[in-house]
Amino acid sequence: MSAKPIKGIAHDTLTFILEVSKSTAPNEFAGLLRAENGIITEVLVLPGTTSSEVSAVMRLFMLPMISIAGSVHSHPTPNARPSMHDLAMFVRTGNCHIIVGFPYTEDSWRCYDVNGERRELSVIDIDFEQV
């Protein structure tokens, strides 16, 4: 697990998440978040991730040995609250968990900590070409 506290997500990464969530709907999209210097810049979609209208199941045993900041997944409804299943997954995948609800806009996502409590996540504009 990454030791650096997460302070934000790159705007481009958030846009990517919203676009993938929209194009995957009504199925759920799920992935893991990676951060650099405390900012989420990467979404990792694990091989073997299955998606259905019921739930997106991540095969965590396929998790490579890398540091994971958290998780992201979409809900096909405007309800962006974590389910019991989500909370069980949060415990295993870091301390920053994004849930995107329908209609997958910049207003329809929430971030939660490992316990399923709402947490702040700033959206940060980064020029990736400078990195």
- Say if CB 51 and CB 73 are below 8 A apart: no
**Residue 1 Cβ vs Zn ion, minimum distance, rounded to whole Å:** 21
Q: Closest distance between Zn ion and the C-beta of residue 73, in Å?
A: 5
**Catalytic-residue membership of 117:** no
Instruction: Confirm or reject binding of residue 109 to Zn ion (CB under 5 A).
Output: no
Give the residue with the Cβ less far from Zn ion, 67 or 83. Answer: 83
- Out of 28, 42, 53, 117, pick the active-site residue: 28
**Length of the chain in residues, anyone?**
131
Tell how far CA 64 is from the center of its chain.
17
Question: Is 126 in contact with 11 (CB distance < 8 Å)?
Answer: yes
Residue numbers 71-100 binding Zn ion by CB under 5 A: 83, 86
30-36 sheet: strands from edge to edge: 109-112, 96-100, 70-74, 30-36, 39-44, 8-10, 122-124
Nearer Cβ to Zn ion, position 86 or 98? 86
Could you tell me the smallest distance in angstroms from the CB atom of residue 120 to Zn ion? 20
Q: 4 or 85: whose CB is closer to Zn ion?
A: 85
Half-sphere exposure (Cβ direction) of 116: Cα atoms closer than 13 Å: 11
- Active centre residues (catalytic): 28
Q: Which residues bind Zn ion (CB under 5 A)?
A: 83, 86
